């Protein structure tokens, strides 16, 4: 009978769930995932299934609790005897603080070089939406130095009536930014390229 299999004294009734297995995985960008499989009574599986973004520390019965991992997916597999295997997938970071190192790639093309960074971030989506086309590549991401990026340099300046115009080499700036939320964090993929900004008579030379 199910009651005899899920018979732990502290896990009886509608809240009974027994942790059977746990699997861990870490992606190249540092994001981590846990997959925990529980045995539960089939009649209670829907009520026991955690909602998305519930903290691992609030739901899991594992000895080690993680406060920066949350539920991402839940699945079920029925077993004989009115039992169900419930698999809960968590995503986030197992560490108490800090962010993993980014993946930095150089992407050469026939006319220019792009720098690409893939990283886990705790910023909001809004902070990425408001990035300007002239926002320079950060000097470091998650504590890791990015490739050298000389400061903005005026490469041409107008004279006479055009003395207030200029053409400036902005260095590497944000070109495209993509992100997807995974639990409490964003996985960001940003590309940077060298840009120019012209004003007045040099406005047509702008490359943003």
Handedness of CA 53, 57, 62, 65 (dihedral sign): positive
d(CA 117, CA 112): 17
Q: Write down the pTM of the prediction.
A: 0.85
Domain parsing of the chain, residue ranges: 2-92, 103-139+151-205
Q: What is the pLDDT of residues 41-86, one digit of tens each?
A: 998 999 999 999 999 999 999 999 999 999 999 999 999 988 999 9
Residue 154 exposure: Cα atoms within 13 Å on the Cβ side: 9
Sheet with strand 32-41: strands edge to edge: 17-26, 32-41, 83-92, 69-79
Q: What is the largest CA-CA distance in the chain?
A: 94
pLDDT tens for each residue of 154-164? 888 877 556 67
**Which backbone phi and psi does 59 adopt, to 5 degrees?**
-110, -40
């Amino acid at each position: 009978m199910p009651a005899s299999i899920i018979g732990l004294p502290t896990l009886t009734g509608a809240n009974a769930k027994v942790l059977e297995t746990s699997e861990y995985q870490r992606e190249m960008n540092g994001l981590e995932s846990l997959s925990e499989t529980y045995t539960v009574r089939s009649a209670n599986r829907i009520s026991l299934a955690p909602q998305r973004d519930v903290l691992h520390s609030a739901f899991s019965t594992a000895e080690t609790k993680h406060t920066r991992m949350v539920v991402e997916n839940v699945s079920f597999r029925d077993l004989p005897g009115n039992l169900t295997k419930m698999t809960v997938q968590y995503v986030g970071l197992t560490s108490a603080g800090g962010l993993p190192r980014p993946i930095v790639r150089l992407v050469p093309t026939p006319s220019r070089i792009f720098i690409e960074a893939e990283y886990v971030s705790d910023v909001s989506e809004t902070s990425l939406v408001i990035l300007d086309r002239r926002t320079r590549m950060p000097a470091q991401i998650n504590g890791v130095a990015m490739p050298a990026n000389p400061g903005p340099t005026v490469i041409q300046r107008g004279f006479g009536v055009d003395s207030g115009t200029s053409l400036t080499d902005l260095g590497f700036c944000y070109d495209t930014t993509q992100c997807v939320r995974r639990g409490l964090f964003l996985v960001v993929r940003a590309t940077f390229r060298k840009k120019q900004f012209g004003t007045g008579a040099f406005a047509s030379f702008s490359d943003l």
